[in-house]
């Protein structure tokens, strides 16, 4: 697990690394993904450091709800008309590469199932 001092997303939350921020609140920050997988690809992160969604849910369940609410607001702001996908990757084998909880908001194109 990445220590908070070395965490990329903690540095973005702190303002030490620039990001294209599209939404922020006291508990959540949302910014555009640098490697977008859809026309709209925004990462929604808690300001607090937890390695994954399960850890965040155990420690701060209200913040998990805040991530989803922020994603819905960004989706609305982006004009996605209620058509979007939300994804938490947990663990390296599931595709998690930054071990700070983050919710992917993907939209602006048709998605298939299963995702891959």
Looking at residue 82, the DSSP 8-state letter turns out to be T
pLDDT at residue 115, rounded to an integer: 83
What residue spans define the domains of the chain? Answer: 4-107
- Computed on alpha carbons and rounded to an integer, the radius of gyration of the chain in Å comes to 13
Give per-residue pLDDT as tens, 71-116: 999 999 999 999 999 999 999 999 999 999 999 999 999 999 998 6
For residues 81 and 62, what is the distance between their CA atoms, to the nearest angstrom?
Answer: 25
Looking at residue 94, the DSSP 8-state letter turns out to be G
Site of tokens 């891959």: 116
Give per-residue pLDDT as tens, 68-78: 999 999 999 99
Active site residues: 102
Give per-residue pLDDT as tens, 2-31: 567 899 999 999 999 999 999 999 999 999
The CATH classification of domain 4-107, taken from the options 3.10.20.600, 3.30.428.10, 3.60.15.10, 3.30.930.10: 3.30.428.10
Looking at residue 78, the DSSP 8-state letter turns out to be T
For residues 50 and 91, what is the distance between their CA atoms, to the nearest angstrom?
Answer: 13
Q: Is the pLDDT of residue 48 over 50?
A: yes
Going 25 to 28 to 32 to 34, the CA torsion angle's sign is positive
């Amino acid at each position: 697990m990445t220590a908070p001092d070395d965490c990329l997303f903690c540095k973005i939350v702190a303002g030490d690394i620039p990001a294209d921020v599209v939404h922020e609140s006291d508990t959540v920050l949302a910014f555009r993904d640098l490697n977008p997988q859809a026309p709209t690809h925004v990462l929604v992160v808690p300001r607090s450091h937890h390695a994954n969604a399960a850890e965040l849910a155990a420690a701060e369940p209200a913040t998990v709800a805040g991530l989803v609410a922020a994603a819905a607001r960004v989706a609305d702001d982006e004009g996605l008309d209620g058509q979007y996908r939300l994804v938490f990757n947990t663990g390296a084998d599931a595709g998690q590469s930054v071990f700070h909880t983050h919710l992917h908001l993907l939209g602006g194109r048709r998605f298939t199932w299963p995702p891959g």
